[in-house]
Amino acid sequence: MSPSTLHEAPQAAPPAPRAPDSAPATAAADSAPAPRLTLARLRRLFMELVKFGVVGGSGVAVNLVVFNLLLHGLASGPMTATVLASCVAMGTNYLGFRFFAYRDRASRTKRQIALFFAFSGVGVAMESVLFYAAYHGAGMDGPLGSNIAKALSIVLASAFRFLVYRTWVFQHDARHH
């Protein structure tokens, strides 16, 4: 026998197909890894949501502070205040998502930056329309009402942002998965 034949000899033949009346324990053992994958995916999604929430929460704070400074401190118009505040928050959020929440994803490219700001622009438009509807349509135009309208518009537009950021902007690098 040659050395390669000796080396190959210990390999076992592929397992024979099981009969339909196989023991349930065997079937359970074969399916055990699937729940682990599901749990691992759920854990990753949970951590992604937590990181998105941390960055998003800081973005909400920036958004609300700038909004109140412009609207109530500098007497800007409500739509000017909401759009400018959202744009400032967009810039701080990009840094947080890029370097914290999605730092493990594909490296920064011109495409990623363009997608982020394009989708963020859509998010700002959504947020502005929602704010306008609450501020003018629902009469939430006082100091408390304007902040509630702003917060609600941010929350509703954030669902859109989460989906597009994770799906198209900060995609997983295929080489690592």
State mean pLDDT over 66-92.
95
Chain-centroid distance of CA 6 in Å reads 53
> pTM (2 decimals)?
0.67
Q: Which of 67, 102, 104, 112 is nearest to 86 (CA)?
A: 67
pLDDT in tens, 117-162: 888 899 999 999 999 999 999 999 899 999 999 999 998 888 888 8
Structure tokens at 105: 């994803």
Q: What is the pLDDT of residues 18-64, one digit of tens each?
A: 545 544 555 455 555 555 668 888 888 888 888 888 988 899 999 99
Query: Six-digit token pair at 149?
Result: 């309208």
Concatenating the DSSP letter of every residue in 73-93 gives IS---HHHHHHHHHHHHHHHH
The tokens describing 170, both together, are 């900060």
